[in-house]
Structure 1
């Protein structure tokens, strides 16, 4: 992207052209159809209060609405992520597409992809968001997009079946409505959160199940309404928190906080640290008692917790101990070596389990796309598949190859 110094004189079309070139350079856009859509839709008209350099930045979100605590509950997603998800969706002219989570801009991109013969429906639970999306769409000339005020958990049955369903909020589960409203050859693209980590997954039908065609790192505001997640969170001390969505994980905040006051022990795997998003997914699904550890910059700077926790790091916890991933420079392992920091009386045992997983991943699965993610609708059976996580509406099962 060009320097911000000339932001007051550059035309929006120039910003837009630069954005498209940058998205192609970063392989977020790989098809001519998606490139043409991004080149056509005036992104700044869906972010009228944002400077052009913010509206057309590849990796910045644009806040749309906050809750009473000042937290974002609706944003215009980063252009890079929107491009990745539209490439995952592989939308063709004439298709019927349902978008769950309205902002306006993404629906306009989809309208460009389906053309005048296609149909785009976007649904949101928040009237303010729907009204804003409708206003922006009309102002930008995308009056063919249908906007619906409803809980996205139920989909929009009146327009079904859909060739594509694209979810633009972090979903903790896949409700039956999304599957039933998806055509037989349809595709669901959803940022699915499993054990605190979110991936944009392109699911195709496989009989009664859904199976992943691709997955990419994603970060979204969480879904509201019936589909909201049921995570357990605890503040251990100022600037340090843990969270988990697995009811089977012990969660004793006072004891875990006390563990942080015990001696810090480091253990090193001798295995390469690489592709952190792939490693994070593997750890989150394979740790026997997983949570996510978060720490503020002040806590990290104090030396109490490693920098890996700034954006959340997979942790292995017991009633009174905690272990989590770190790294150090090591040319013998290709630049960095993965390791474990452990606290508490059971720290060494937790570290041993963690190290085995780090070594297994580095030896057998250290590449992109090594996971296959399957969603099995319906009640969880008493004997769950290995590396599976029960949800309200089904089971997420992951295998590595």
Structure 2
């Protein structure tokens, strides 16, 4: 028996969750249940896997287990970017090997397409999915150099890009803070918590979703038995779509890094405040420096600021940390929007990323009758959707080039033992944030 030694515990103030449609969560499981297929994790990966399994095996029942409420966890805490283009920060042109980059592009586009089609099919209007593109913006010389290199890499892939100078950029995003931005039109923007709520409420009829149901231990064998506080779930096959919590189920131990990043969301801007900044009514900015600030202007005229990082080895939120990062968010916000200094934040929260030292994810068989799509490395919206779908197709005998690419890809590297791991990761995070300069 493997005892699950860390259960999800996120802070109580995720802005996307509280500003999206309130729904009646599915009841937790009381007692025992069984199914040929059990999926762990009600985020983008788990929802995609459960949906596709149900479509591939319409006569089978699929159980989907979520430890919290759908939309409350990691999938509802990101910045809401569905990014298509690859972004390899270890390569001089941020693209690297072109064959690999093209596969990543196709994988991301696959995830985008699945989500777009589901939003249309099930009329998930409150997800506010829009084909807005994204601006990657820079203020310092090193950031400008990144944009120039990345532009060359994307053009070599045949991707459309546009370099926008600072004097024009304010008309796009309502701030003259940045010197330059690289605009890529293929990105979609969403309200992420509303999207996953809508995906959960539109699952096929042969999917049973249990929310607020934590798995405390697992017996592996020909039949997998998952223990929860009031009973057991017996599975023919188990699929893990729970990102860095897969480590606590006995897999990829010491190979994933639960890195938390933090966001703050303002109250809605008044008409006068909107007029004071101008720009388009809906946009998203990511930083040229990976430790810089991400910004969004939302469908309801709020501003999102996302920056600051922490290493949380058990994958759970740190008490009181949102109070600390709110100060950093305030500084970043007022630098960019000096006319909005009186606009308060209504919500500040953290969310976990399943990162690896070499940027590799895991896809495929973990042991007999157990499979996983884990370690999304910050692209869980599109990568999780694509890999969850492809994994379910593989289990139905449907192989395709992207599946072969994922199976052949490098696996996550081993991490150093503690306490060296925490010392090294925390030093890297502190140094990176300090070097981000004005882009923080």
The TM-score bracket by the shorter chain reads: under 0.3
Question: Rg: which structure is higher?
Answer: 1
Q: Which has the higher strand share?
A: 1
